[in-house]
Amino acid sequence: MRPTRLDTARIRAARQVIDPAFLDTPLYRCDALDPVLGCAVSVKLETANPVRSFKGRGTELVASRLADHGPGAVVCASAGNLGQALAWSARDRGLDVTVVASRFATAAKVDRIRALGARLELVDGDHEAARERAAAIARHDGSRLLEDSLDIETCEGAATIGLELVAQQTAVPAYDAVLIALGGGALATGVGHVLKALAPGVEVICVQPRGAPALTLSWRARRVVSTESADTIADGVAGRHPIPAVLDDLLLVADDAVLVEESSITAGMRLLLHHAGLVVEPSAALGIAAILEDRDRFAGRHVVTIVCGSNVDMTAYHRWTGTALTPRQDARPRL
C-alpha cells in the first residue's frame, strides 16, 4: 500500500492516551439480523460511551496534546458529535472550547454540548457555513482550529477502531467486509488505513447518503467534487466540500464507496431497533442501508458495520422508525 497520512505505530501509541471508556468497544454477531439481510452481520458498537459516538477517540488525542502546553482554547465546527466529544475531553483539562454548529443541528447534540460546558455558536446555513465561521474565530482569537478529518488526531483516533477490529477478528467468525459511514472521511481513512495495513483481505466499503454524496463522487472521480447542497437526515455525514488530503488517503484505502437512499437509512434504523435493540442515529445505519440496497453483493458473507453514533432527537427518531410519539413525550424543549 502507498503510504497514507496515517502511521500504524502512532495509532497504536494513541491507545495509551485515549480514555479507556472509548476503547475496546463491543464487536459481536447479531444473528437476528441475518435472515432479514441474507448475510452474517456483526456490529462494532461505538455508542456505549459518555458521548455516544466514536468521536471521543479523536478528541482525547487533541485535548491531551493541547493540554500538554497548558490552558488553551480550541474551536471546531461540528454537526454535534465532534463538538460533544471535544467538550467532554476538554472539560477536566483546563481547555476552553467553542463549538460552531448549524442552526439546524440536532437538538440532542447541541443540548449536550452546552451541558458539557462548551461555548456554542449557532450559524445560519449548513455545516459548511459552520466550518467557515469556526475558521474565522480561530483566525481572530488565535484558538486552535480543530478540523475534523483534516487534523490527523481525528483520523488516528478513529483508526484505533481498526486496531480493535483486527485484534477482535479471532473472537468471532472471520468477516470479509467492513461497512463505514462516510462523511468528512476520518472514520473511513482511519479504519481503512489499519485494515489495509494489517488485514488487507478485508473489503473496505464506504457508505454515504445519496443526498450528500460529495466525498463518494470525489472518490469515484479521483478528484475533489463539491456539491451545491446536502439533503439527508444523516446529519453527521452531510458535508459538501471534501478535503483534498483526505480524498488522497481515501483513494488509497477504500475498495468501494456507495450511495444509499434516505428510505434505506430509515429502514436500517428500524432493523437495528427491532432486531438488535439498538437506537442509532441515521449515520450509524448507513451500513445496514448498503446491505439492503445490494443484497446480492453481500449474500452469504460476514459483514461488520460500525455503529458510529446514537445521538438523535427522539421525536425525529420515532418518526423515522415508524413509531408515533404521544404528546406527553413530545413535550421536551427545543432550541
Choices 154-162, 197-205, 232-240, 309-317 (CB under 8 A): range interacting with a copy of itself: 309-317
**Is 229 one of the binding residues for a copy of itself (CB under 8 A)?**
no
Q: Which is nearer to a copy of itself, 217 or 314 (CB)?
A: 314
Which of 279, 285, 288, 303 binds a copy of itself (CB under 8 A)? It is 279
CA 84 – CA 68 distance, rounded (Å): 21
Choices 72-80, 125-133, 179-187, 276-284 (CB under 8 A): range interacting with a copy of itself: 276-284
**Is 100 one of the binding residues for a copy of itself (CB under 8 A)?**
no
For the beta carbon of residue 96, count every other beta carbon within 10 angstroms.
Answer: 15
**Is 117 one of the binding residues for a copy of itself (CB under 8 A)?**
no
Encoded amino acid at 324, one letter:
A
CA 188 – CA 202 distance, rounded (Å): 13
What is the DSSP secondary-structure string of 111-167? HHHHHTT-EEEEESS-HHHHHHHHHHHHHHH-PEEE-TTTSHHHHHHHHHHHHHHHH
**Is 331 one of the binding residues for a copy of itself (CB under 8 A)?**
no
Report which of 236, 108, 110 is spatially closest to residue 180, judged by C-alpha positions. 236
Q: What's the Cα-to-Cα distance from 100 to each of 132, 140, 313, rounded to whole Å? A: 9, 14, 19
Burial of 132 per CB tally in 10 Å (0-12, 13-18, 19+): middle
Q: Which is nearer to a copy of itself, 210 or 318 (CB)?
A: 318
Residue ranges in 156-185 that form contacts with a copy of itself under rule CB under 8 A: 168, 171-172
Residue 26 C-beta: closest distance to a copy of itself, Å:
4
Q: Which residues pair with 44 in a beta bridge?
A: 27, 306
Residue 334 C-beta: closest distance to a copy of itself, Å:
14
What is the DSSP secondary-structure string of 52-69? SBTTHHHHHHHHHHHHTT
Kindly list the strands in the beta sheet with 203-209, ordered across the sheet, starting from the edge strand earlier in the chain: 27-29, 40-45, 302-307, 177-181, 203-209, 256-260
Q: Which is nearer to a copy of itself, 93 or 274 (CB)?
A: 274
Choices 111-119, 138-146, 230-238, 240-248 (CB under 8 A): range interacting with a copy of itself: 111-119
Residue 28 C-beta: closest distance to a copy of itself, Å:
5
Which of 5, 12, 15, 318 binds a copy of itself (CB under 8 A)? It is 318
Q: How many CA atoms lie within 13 A of 34 on its CB side?
A: 10
Which of 277, 300, 333, 334 binds a copy of itself (CB under 8 A)? It is 277
Q: Which is nearer to a copy of itself, 26 or 72 (CB)?
A: 26
**Is 50 one of the binding residues for a copy of itself (CB under 8 A)?**
yes
CA 85 – CA 109 distance, rounded (Å): 10
Burial of 333 per CB tally in 10 Å (0-12, 13-18, 19+): exposed
Q: Tell me the site size for a copy of itself, rule CB under 8 A.
A: 47
Choices 121-129, 188-196, 288-296, 312-320 (CB under 8 A): range interacting with a copy of itself: 312-320
Choices 3-11, 48-56, 138-146, 231-239 (CB under 8 A): range interacting with a copy of itself: 48-56
Contacts with a copy of itself by CB under 8 A lie at: 19-21, 24-32, 35, 43, 45, 47-50, 52, 112, 115-116, 168, 171-172, 270, 273-274, 276-279, 310-312, 314, 318, 321-326, 328-329, 332
